[in-house]
Amino acid sequence: MSSKEQLINDFDPNGVGHQGNIFGLPFGAEDAEVVLLPVPWEVTVSYNAGTSDGPEAILNASTQVDLFVKGINNAWRMGIAMTHIPKEIIQENNKYRSLAIKYIKALEEGKTSDRNPELKVIPKSINEISEKLNIYVKSEAEKYLKKGKLVGVVGGDHSTPLGLIRALNEKYSSFGILQFDAHADLREAYEGFKYSHASIMYNALHCENLTKLVQVGVRDCCEQEMEIVKNSKGRIVTFFDEEIKEASFHGTTWKKMCETIVNQLPEQVYISFDIDGLDPKYCPNTGTPVPGGLGYDEAVFLIKVVVASGKKIIGFDLNEVAPGDSEWDGNVGARLLYVLCNWMGVSQKKLVLE
């Protein structure tokens, strides 16, 4: 009997879970099919802070998630594990976050680097440390991808998954990104930060094997970003929240809309899920909340339609979960994370539908 079989036999999915393990499951990274990389990073956050606490909040809330999944046979047996939350990243985040706050405050006060030479140093330093973070995430992702694991990133702010996206770019000759988000995240070096949370998709588009970016729920963007979409020659397709809602007012069902969205995606799909893509009632403490957005069930249904279409989910990230003073955001984040893991498993035939 393998170690994983033994773990399954010894575990009671109806009982108390293993404290300190994601969803209370008994698996480690070597036994699990899905490995989650926590990245507690939010150096370039430009509004509310707290997303660096997201991985821990999700981990703590995850043991409250019941393991039964309607429609999937023994989902928990696939095995999901989260690696340890790296303390050194937390320390670096706190150090460079204080510098970013100083720099952003100076910009808001109208100060320029011409009159304040020290302002030139801060973005350079932050860009360098952010690239080191990208290299770390890519290295960790590659380590598990080479072992045949499915990998997801749990942020942190939305800048955190770039390393994983780069790793998948080297693994797959062609793939697309399905982005759930209130924002387009196509800004170039926002506020001087090359790896800003507002620039993740701008940076991801430098991956030559990324053939399609499909954005859903966008409702806050700038003119520069819309020019990038317009000039992308169809590489970027944006389903604005306003258009989705107006279509529903005219009788278009969410099922039909989801089919339209999924038809834009290639066979290999990476899901990038910024929690602010949801209605803020599900994520009131997120970094940059925007009125409107998808319902939780609407987002889950869209993920299911991706899988039902026969497309494969090759990886994902979940980010911008900020706990604030309540457990609600972490609770929603944990449940959404379980959905992402399990339906990726179904798409990869690691799990079987009932």
The 3-class secondary structure across the chain, one letter per residue, is CCHHHHHHHHCCCCCCCCCCCHHHCCCCCCCCCEEEEEECCCCCCCCCCCHHHHHHHHHHHHCCCCCCCCCECCHHHHCEEECCCCHHHHHHHHHHHHHHHHHHHHHHCCCCCCCCCHHHHHHHHHHHHHHHHHHHHHHHHHHHHCCCCEEEEEECCCCCCHHHHHHHHHHCCCEEEEEECCECCCCCCHHHCCCCHHHHHHHHCCCCCEEEEEEEEECECCHHHHHHHHCCCCCEEEEEHHHHHHHHHCCCCHHHHHHHHHCCCCCEEEEEEEHHHECHHHCCCCCCCCCCCECHHHHHHHHHHHHHCCCEEEEEEEECCCCCCCCHHHHHHHHHHHHHHHHHHHHCCCCCEC
pLDDT of residue 107: 75
Question: Given a cut of 70, is residue 242 above it in pLDDT?
Answer: yes
pLDDT of residue 113: 62
pLDDT of residue 1: 60
- Domain 3-347 fold: Arginase; Chain A (3.40.800)
- Summarize the confidence of residues 264-270 as an average pLDDT: 98
Give this prediction's pTM.
Answer: 0.95
pLDDT of residue 18: 81
- Summarize the confidence of residues 206-211 as an average pLDDT: 98
pLDDT of residue 115: 67
- Summarize the confidence of residues 95-122 as an average pLDDT: 78
Q: Which amino acid is at 221?
A: C
pLDDT of residue 227: 97
pLDDT of residue 105: 82
Comparison of pLDDT for 114 and 129, the residue scoring more = 129
Each domain of the chain, given as residue ranges in start order, spans 3-347
118-122, 192-196, 246-250, 321-325, range with the lowest pLDDT: 118-122
Question: Given a cut of 80, is residue 108 above it in pLDDT?
Answer: no
Question: Given a cut of 70, is residue 261 above it in pLDDT?
Answer: yes
Of the pLDDT bands very low, low, confident and very high (cuts 50, 70, 90), residue 325 is: confident
